[in-house]
Structures are given as C-alpha cells and as structure tokens.
Structure 1
C-alpha cells in the first residue's frame, strides 16, 4: 500500500467527520468524502492530519488587467481597467471547459 500524498495548506472550515472515519467537505453540493491525503473534486480542498486544508490559499493562478466592459459590472466607470485574478480549482467538470 502506498503512503498518502502530503498536502500543504491553510486549515479550512466547513467540514465534519463521518462515522466511517472519513471527513466530509461541506463547501459545495458535491460533499466530497475524503480519506487521509485525498483531495476533493475541486482539487483546492484536501484532507491532511485529520482536517481540511486549503491547498491554493494565497496562491493565484493568474492575474490580468482587462477593460471593465468584459466584466459583469460593465456599467461602473466605463473605459477603466480592472484587475482580475483567480486560483486553480473548480467543481463543475464541464465537458467543454478549456481551463
């Protein structure tokens, strides 16, 4: 049997322990049930040392300055730039996704 992956991250909230020893993440409706060293479907939250850790906390996967018209707040200060950033991870599993 192989040793579980060692996950580094910041302790997270919104989880609880199940009767079978796994930990259930309660952030999204997928309710991932994790054994030691496993990550959730989003790949952002994982189980380490009997708790949930956030593996992408403080780590951005991309920064971009876009025109504000590209964003949902396009009527706020038209013609100005806006900073966009995000982290890795998603729980949607869209077949058409290019990210």
Structure 2
C-alpha cells in the first residue's frame, strides 16, 4: 500500500515538474513576444510620430482645393466655350474665304 502512495506521489511530482518546465518555456516565449511588440511600437511611434500634424495639413489642403473646385469648373467651362467659338470661327472663316474666291 505504501508503494502505491509513493508511486502516485512520484507521478504527481513528475507531472508538476513537467508543468513547471512548460510554464518556464511559455514565459520565455511571452517575454520574446513582449520584446518584439515593444520594439515594433517604438519603431512605429518613431515613424508615425509626426503623422497627425501632416494629416491635418493635408486635410486643410484638400479642403482648400475643394473650395476652389467650383471656380475651376467655371473656368474650364469658359475655356471650352472659347475654344469652341475659335473652332467655329476657324471653320466658317475658311468657308467664307473659299466663297470669296
């Protein structure tokens, strides 16, 4: 009977030792993951640290361009009308010169 208890205790001790070893390995893995994440955070913070200011400047520029877009569309329409008029004058001018000859 004593041998059964000693055997069970030894088995429990081996299982506990194996679990402890697995926890040590898991701790090392988690430590490595933590270091990698901290390094990545430092890197991205260094690269993207000034991004909010740049984004705000870009948004202001886009807003400014959008506010000027109707003016540009009017100018584009006027240029098209002018070019169309010049094209008509060119066509009809050639026809009128041919008729005069």
User: If the TM-score is normalised by the length of the shorter chain, which range does it land in?
Assistant: under 0.3
Q: More helix by proportion, 1 or 2?
A: 2
TM-score by length of 1: 0.18
